[in-house]
Amino acid sequence: MGILNNIVMIEFVLYLVLMIVIGFLVSRKSKSHKDFLLGGRQLPGWALAFSERATGESAWLLLGYTGFVFATGLSSVWVAVGIVTGVIVSWLFLARRFMEEAAKYDVITLPGYLAARFGKHAKVILWLTTVLIFSFMMFYFGAQLAGAGKTLFAVFNIPPMVGVLLSFAVVVSLAFIGGFVAVVWTDMIQSIMMLVTLVVLPIIALVKISANDLSISAALAATGPTMDSWTGGAIGLAIGLLLFNNFAWMFGFLGGQPQLSARFMALRNKKEAKTGSIVAISWTILAYVGAFMIGLTALTLYQGEAFADVETILPFMILDLFPPWIAGILLAGILAAIISTANSQLMVVTSSISEDIVNNALNMKLSQKQLVNVSRIAIVLAGLVGLVIALTAESLVFSVVSWAWAGVGGTLSPAIILTFFWRKYSGVGVIATISVGFISTAVWITSPLEAIISSRFTTFLFAFAAGIIFSLLFPDKGPDVDAKGDKKIVSEIKEEEKAPVGTV
């Protein structure tokens, strides 16, 4: 076991060094504040798609979801169905619109876009969205660091704090050095590693199951009376609630996750958006089929064994089924998921502070170099807050990510959908959407109601309804409103079809 640990540790260290070197090399392309936060819209669509997927599917997929499948059985499939549906909708119907709107309004953040669209209420919108993003994204970031601690504990039996501190150092270093460009290119490598882990592991597990004449269906039936049921043994109304609560992950993908929408905003043209959608959707389907099968095969191979933490199933399987040198590479895939998402979350918080607050809300007259320095300071400070959360929180990765998904995605998705598709949406409506979403999430997740209907849906519902009601009660009036009271929609980019690939 000592030799195995040494091999795995060496590969871990080499992987971390490689990521930092790549981050340093590509960082030289980031010259301005816009380059630092959005890459100057010069990155290819396929790279942005890999980055978006690595960012969207973090330690929660490799550790949280595989453990969830192991613990709940077939009914866990509805989480995957909801997320895959959300990814498909976001790439096919929202990505191109984000790209066009970001170019029209010359913005580089999701809050900045909402502020530009509803200029009379810009500062209030910027402050509210920044508070919302910081409050929930820090818990999301802390969950990634906690996932690193779990991984290294499962592999080396070292205190989780060591893994947390190591991941913190790498994540902050990468974001600090190269900003958005470094994050995207390292995300691309990490995304491929994640996919390899999720595809190869269940195949090897199925081979072993077949060789040992085991049965997944028999293992499910033997584990518990609800494990082999696609509805978790629920009947009547309970079936609808179970399916809907799991499927409700979809609502967070409808434009409201700023770390994901940043990739859409960074797209160059429609051709790149189409390429990105093919890559992202294909990746998601393969990844979730793999993660689902990992949970089921683990349950079959290790039935009867007790695990103190089911979210360590994946690293346990890797160490059990692969020789050390391959195990080290696949385990690096878990660390890849953690680093990619944590990097992106740091960049989201950073952009909210440096671009939305310092540059726009406070209108501080800083040079490009000074703004980049402000961003780097924000990276360190936000990283430290996330580190404290990771070291003190006791919640599971799956649960923490679920709450953050509701608080940010469930709140901002209605704001984006209404902005894109409803002309009567007003600035007061945006403020109501964000305020109600924030408050309802905080109240709901601390009440017994969360166990009945997930806040991933209720936040979306309440925020959406508030946006409509307050927009009708307080419509926008002024020079940007026509005689009917509807907003004039800014014209589409006429020359986009004519622009050669590689131009903005």
In a domain, 437, yes or no: no
pLDDT of 431 strictly over 90: yes
Q: 481 phi and psi, to 5 degrees?
A: -120, 135
Whole-angstrom Cα distance, residue 385 to residue 129? 18
In a domain, 425, yes or no: no
Report which of residues 22 and 305 the model is more confident about.
305
Domain at 80, CATH number: 1.20.1730.10
pTM, whole model, 2 decimals?
A: 0.79
Instruction: Give the best-scoring range by mean pLDDT among 91-100, 250-259, 385-394.
Output: 91-100
* Separation of CA 190 from chain center: 14
Q: Hey, CA dihedral for 61, 66, 67, 73, is it positive or negative?
A: positive
Whole-angstrom Cα distance, residue 377 to residue 245? 39
pLDDT of 325 strictly over 70: yes
Q: For the chain, first and last CA: distance in Å?
A: 54
Mean per-residue pLDDT for 328-347? Answer: 72
Q: What pLDDT shows up at residue 488?
A: 37
Q: What pLDDT shows up at residue 29?
A: 57
- What is the number of domains present in the chain? 1
In a domain, 59, yes or no: yes
Q: What pLDDT shows up at residue 499?
A: 46
299 and 220 Cβ atoms separated by less than 8 Å:
yes
Whole-angstrom Cα distance, residue 350 to residue 378? 5
Q: 320 phi and psi, to 5 degrees?
A: -80, -35
Q: What's the pLDDT band for 397 if we cut at 50, 70, 90?
A: low
pLDDT of 321 strictly over 80: yes
* Among the ranges given (140-154, 247-261, 418-432, 438-452), the one the predictor scored with the smallest mean pLDDT: 140-154
C-beta neighbour count of 325 within 10 angstroms: 12
pLDDT of 416 strictly over 90: yes
275 token code pair: 């390429």
Question: For the purposes of burial, counting CB atoms within 10 Å of the CB of 69, is it exposed (0-12), middle (13-18) or buried (19 or more)?
Answer: buried
259-306 tens-digit pLDDT: 888 889 888 889 999 999 999 999 999 999 999 999 999 999 988 777
Q: What's the pLDDT band for 498 if we cut at 50, 70, 90?
A: very low
138 and 401 Cβ atoms separated by less than 8 Å:
no
Q: What pLDDT shows up at residue 337?
A: 65
DSSP state of 218: H
Mean per-residue pLDDT for 221-245? Answer: 76
In a domain, 419, yes or no: no
Bridge partners (DSSP) of residue 481 are: 487
Whole-angstrom Cα distance, residue 157 to residue 316? 12
- CA triple 163-166-168, angle to 5 deg: 105
In a domain, 133, yes or no: yes
For 136-165, give one letter per residue: b (16+ CB within 10 A) or e: bbbbbbbbbbbbbbbbbbbbbeeebeebbb
Domain housing 295: 2-394
In a domain, 484, yes or no: no
Whole-angstrom Cα distance, residue 489 to residue 86? 26
395 token code pair: 């919640």
Amino acid at 485: G
411 and 463 Cβ atoms separated by less than 8 Å:
yes
Whole-angstrom Cα distance, residue 88 to residue 282? 10
Instruction: Give the best-scoring range by mean pLDDT among 52-61, 288-297, 359-368.
Output: 288-297
In a domain, 185, yes or no: yes
Report which of residues 360 and 397 the model is more confident about.
360
Whole-angstrom Cα distance, residue 44 to residue 77? 32
Mean per-residue pLDDT for 129-146? Answer: 81
Average pLDDT value for the chain: 80
Q: What is the dihedral of CA 423, 428, 430, 431, to 10 degrees?
A: 180
233: alpha, beta or left? (left if phi > 0; alpha if psi -120 to 50):
left
Report which of residues 403 and 208 the model is more confident about.
208
Q: What pLDDT shows up at residue 107?
A: 86
Q: What pLDDT shows up at residue 38?
A: 53
Rg for the chain (alpha carbons), in Å? 22
Q: Which residues contact 137 (CB under 8 A, 6 or more apart)?
A: 259, 345, 348, 349, 404, 408
159-199 tens-digit pLDDT: 777 778 877 887 777 677 656 676 777 778 878 888 888 99
In a domain, 415, yes or no: no
Place of tokens 């990739």: 263
Q: Please state the three-class secondary structure of 201-257 as a single string.
A: HHHHHHHHHHHCCCCHHHHHHHHCCCCCCCCCCCCCHHHHHHHHHHHHHHHHHCCCC
424 and 486 Cβ atoms separated by less than 8 Å:
yes
383 token code pair: 């990283």
